[in-house]
Structure 1
Amino acid sequence: MLQRCLLACMAFLLAANAWADTLLVAAGAGYRRPVMQLLEDFTQSSGIRAEASFGNMKQVETRARQNPDIALLIGDRAFLEPMGLAERFQHLGKGQLVLVAARGQAIASLDELREPRFKRIALPDRTKAVYGNAAATCLERLGLAQPLQGRLLEVATVPQVGAYVAKGEVDAGFVNRTEALALQGRAGASIDAPQDCYAPIELSVGVLQGRTDGAAARAFLDYLASPAARRVLERHGM
């Protein structure tokens, strides 16, 4: 009886130790699908539990400042760098702004947004979300901001834009390529925005100052540099 009890206690301690070094990251909501896949693959290959918190980049910054357990941030470097929280950055891929039309809508160029059939056009928050800023910049540079004034609907995040498009609550919406791929079969035509109409989007992981002493963070950064992680990102359009 004593031997069985000791064995049970040892098993419990081993299991607890396996999960003791937990990784917590915060990431832009538009990257939820690839980040969740990366964390799942990392956990399966390393045995280290990895969790994520998602939101627009302002929410990501707030959480990182309030929660000292968050070791890494994932998002556009142009948003991450001004936060002043990261000691260095690791490049992950490039983002692409995409316009997705609602089911049954065809579109071949962004200039077609001038047409009356596009009554409501969604974009993420231009001040808090990477792709919202990119969409607003693109419309301005293409001379579409003024003609579309009154038809633009700003929501918090890329996934929310995708939900509006999929439900037909808007006629089109600006998302990233990851969300556009996820909307296939639930939306209409999609078109890449010209890459010269917005600043390049560099998906990066920010290594937070003084928070990467743990083995979990170091192991995840090594994983992100691996071919396995590269394949995950490519499947999600990056």
Structure 2
Amino acid sequence: MRRCFLACLAFLLAANAWAADTLLVAAGAGYRRPVTQLLEEFTKTTGIRAEASFGNMKQVETQARQNPDIALMIGDRAFLEPMGLAERFQHLGTGKLVLVAARGQALGAIADLREPRFARIAMPDRAKAVYGNAAATCLERLGLAQPLAGRLLEVATVPQVGAYLATGEVDAGFVNRTEALALAGRAGDAIDAPKDCYDPIELSVGVLRGRADGAAGRAFLGYLASPAARKLLERHGM
């Protein structure tokens, strides 16, 4: 019994030490590629282990509330700030809404979506995802929300829209610039949405109250301000 107790105690101490040396981040799924690469490069540079969980912003909020080990959230500040979890924010870049057509579909303007050939148009969930909200706002401001209402397919995240575009399950879809770049060669034409058809998207890191005071959190925030991190984000369209 004593030997078992000591073994369990040793395991718990080791687990606590591992958790203390590991940075946990929750991020919007539309930023999976750049965030994953940022964490990988951060670990190579510092030796500090870093992991991330992804989802739409409602899922990110749930993860951050349920897991006290998550120190940082990454997403649109307009979504992060109302959560009331972050004590401060660090700017990362500007998000861009992009409309992508399926392979073989020509696309010159968002107004082209009125054409019958665009029978299924995907977008992230407008209530839970940054770019879903941006797409819904854009369609409303361009006078397309009502004409296209019966053709819109809302899914949970930006990557899901990308998957539907790549497999041809939809004729067009709204994604961010990061996903649009990743779809090159697997989908059709891509056009940037007019900047005035949706509210500015400020990609930010939310530092969770009382959770990012450790060396790992401080080191990652410092890394994000480095030229190397800036170049990586720029390669992903931010």
TM range (shorter): over 0.9
C-alpha RMSD of the superposition: 1.4
**Residue aligning to 2:150:** 150
**Residue aligning to 1:99:** 99
SS of aligned partner of 1:131: helix
Structure 2, unmatched stretches of 5+, are 1-13
Q: Distance in 1 between matches of 2:88 and 2:49?
A: 23
The answer to whether the 8 A contact 1:38-1:232 is kept is: yes
SS of aligned partner of 2:149: coil
TM-aligned CA deviation for residue 16 of structure 1: 9.4
**Is 1:219–2:215 an aligned residue pair?**
no
Letter in 1 for 2:29: A
The answer to whether the 8 A contact 1:88-1:206 is kept is: yes
Q: Distance in 2 between matches of 1:197 and 1:28?
A: 22
**Residue aligning to 1:175:** 175
TM-aligned CA deviation for residue 213 of structure 1: 1.8
Following superposition, which runs of at least 4 residues in structure 1 exceed 6 angstroms of deviation? Answer: 15-18
Q: Distance in 1 between matches of 2:159 and 2:67?
A: 24
The answer to whether the 8 A contact 1:21-1:214 is kept is: no
**Residue aligning to 1:123:** 123
TM-score normalised per structure 1:
0.92
Letter in 2 for 1:196: D
Structure 1, unmatched stretches of 5+, are 1-14
TM-score normalised per structure 2:
0.92
**Is 1:210–2:230 an aligned residue pair?**
no
1:130-177 deviation digits (Å, cap 9, x = unpaired):
000000000000000011011000000000000000000000000000
Percent of pairs with identical residues: 86
SS of aligned partner of 2:73: strand
Q: Distance in 2 between matches of 1:104 and 1:65?
A: 43
The answer to whether the 8 A contact 1:120-1:171 is kept is: yes
